[in-house]
Amino acid sequence: MKYQTHDDAAHSIEENLRLEAEAHDEDYEGRKPFGLDSLTFSIDEVWKIHDRAYKRGTYRRGWRKHRLFELMNLPTLEGKRILEVGCGQGHNSVFFALYGAEVHGFDLSSAGISMAREIARANKVDDRCHFRVANVSAMPYEAESFDVVVYNAVLHHVFKYPNVKEETFRVLKPGGKLFFAEGVRDNAAHRFIRSIQRTVRPAHYHGDIDLEMEDLRDLTKDYASVNIEQFGLVEKFLQGIGKPYNNNWFIRSLLFAGHKVDDSLLAVIPGLRSQCLEVVGVAVKGERHEVAPRPH
């Protein structure tokens, strides 16, 4: 795990929490869910948005979340208790609630939580969605109270804080599942590109860390079973061209070519997966273990 800027390591925990909350408050203010024009959405709309980036109208990291949703097997979550850590505006949580889950979500951003409640009301699942402002180092939930815990593109923000591993494990029921989707920085070429981006836009990357596969292995080491998938090599680099390619046929064609190159390269040289930049994983908590007290 590496800090993305030298200053971040020197900040106190309280200072980092304050700075990140302020940054995300600004980011979430007035933002619509999933990049749509409305607060409401359907299950089919969300699946369509989260597909390969070369397809018109999809999100540039859509496939990563698509795979996360597949691993979660959403239709089986009806009646289950889910915790989304760093839920932001809560649109993922609301999406899970549309499948019948009881969802709890928390975030540092009060603006994000306010929007999450509004989105839940708009989609008529506010009776199944429970949002609050909270800190990952001291999750305000009882031990063994969730069937599922989800980190979607959040670990690179929170892994620097204390007790993340311990608190995640504590709130999961025996047999419960931890799901995560992230980008990793084990690829030297990508780290070089990111260093340039951080120089150009330092404020944008404040508080982020360079997650490595070793961090994810450390996060999941106490679980009974772990499955971590890596993908996205050439296609991921091409996504760095920029965001406005949903309606640009040329850029979408490049992304399609990158996707095909990835398929061929990884089939011929499976070891290249260790250089891939997108990660989705699931870890299952064992049925028998000693309940750890809340960390201090």
Q: Yes or no: say if 184 and 279 are a contact pair by the CB < 8 Å rule.
A: yes
Residue 200 pLDDT exceeds 80: no
The whole-angstrom separation of Cα 229 and Cα 260 is 18
Delimit the domains of the chain by residue range. 2-284
Residue 6 pLDDT exceeds 50: no
In the structure, what pLDDT confidence band is assigned to residue 252 with cuts at 50, 70 and 90?
Answer: confident
Residue among 211, 216, 262 nearest 235 (CA): 262
pLDDT tens figures, 173-194: 999 999 999 999 877 666 655 6
Average pLDDT score, the chain = 87
- Mean pLDDT confidence for 8-33: 78
Residue 260 pLDDT exceeds 90: yes
Q: Which residue has the higher pLDDT, 244 or 91?
A: 91
DSSP letter, residue 62: H
| pLDDT of the residue at 29 | 80
Burial class (CB in 10 A: 0-12, 13-18, 19+), 48: middle
Distance from the Cα of residue 91 to its chain's centroid: 12
- Spatial strand order of the sheet with 129-133 comes to 129-133, 102-107, 81-85, 146-152, 172-183, 278-284, 225-231
Tokens 């995560």 map to which residue?
Answer: 180
Dihedral angle, C-alpha 131, 134, 140, 146, nearest 10 °: 50
Does an H or E element contain 263, and which?
helix 249-268
| pLDDT of the residue at 19 | 81
- Mean pLDDT confidence for 182-209: 63
Q: Which residue has the higher pLDDT, 191 or 201?
A: 191
In the structure, what pLDDT confidence band is assigned to residue 196 with cuts at 50, 70 and 90?
Answer: low
- Mean pLDDT confidence for 243-264: 83
How many Å is the Cα radius of gyration of the chain? 19
- Mean pLDDT confidence for 255-270: 94
The domain made up of 2-284 is a member of CATH 3.40.1160.10: no
| pLDDT of the residue at 201 | 54
- Mean pLDDT confidence for 10-28: 80
| pLDDT of the residue at 197 | 55
